Amino acid sequence: MIKRILLRVFPHPQLTAFLLLIWLLLVNNVTVGNVILGLIIGVAIPGITQPFWPNQPRIARPFKAVSYILLVIWDICVANVTVARIILFKSNANTHSHWIVVPLDLRSPEAITILAGTITMTPGTVTAMLAADASHLLVHCLDTDDPDAVRDEIKHRYERRLKEIFE
């Protein structure tokens, strides 16, 4: 009975805690009022969006999720330097942009969304489209001589880890 009440008030407890943390980081001041407001935000947003989450995503290995986040942060930093070099030192004639089709083994909508977001957040690549049947992503790469290598790197570096986390 108590569990049902808690699930009604906190439909996504991890999201509530995450929103509270983000709120406190944004206001940069931990006071009782800010904690209460952060809790209100952390309860209201998941409560309002509950109808759009028919099934709560299951994270099978949360520690792998932490390592995935650190990997993505590292890749974003490295890609920033790489894109800066391309912009500053390469001429447009020497830049080889390509559209790449990345077939997906992922089936979880949340995992696919995270993969597409990861690709887009990494400078030099953008996820342009997800197939209607969620079987592949269309990705634009700013500069590559080997589109197949980029596809394989996305599958090995990101998709494989997301499969471990979500499935």
Task: Specify whether 127 is located in the same domain as 101.
Answer: yes
Q: What is the pTM of this model?
A: 0.75
Q: How many CA atoms lie within 13 A of 58 on its CB side?
A: 4
In a domain, 57, yes or no: no
pLDDT at residue 150 in the model: 94
| Domain with 76 in it | 62-166
Q: Give CA–CA dist 99/23, Å, rounded.
A: 38
Task: Specify whether 101 is located in the same domain as 142.
Answer: yes
pLDDT at residue 51 in the model: 78
Spell out, as residue ranges, where the chain has pLDDT lower than 50.
none
Q: Give CA–CA dist 143/156, Å, rounded.
A: 19
β-pair partners for 125: 141
In a domain, 34, yes or no: yes
Task: Specify whether 77 is located in the same domain as 158.
Answer: yes
In a domain, 40, yes or no: yes
Task: Specify whether 66 is located in the same domain as 125.
Answer: yes
Task: Specify whether 43 is located in the same domain as 82.
Answer: no
* Number of domains composing the chain: 2
| CATH, residue 98 | 3.30.70
- Which position has the token pair 């990705």? 139
Candidates 117, 118, 110; CA nearest to 14 is 110
pLDDT at residue 115 in the model: 96
Q: Could you report the per-residue pLDDT of 82-131, keeping only the tens digit for each? A: 999 998 988 777 888 999 999 999 988 889 999 999 999 999 999 999 99
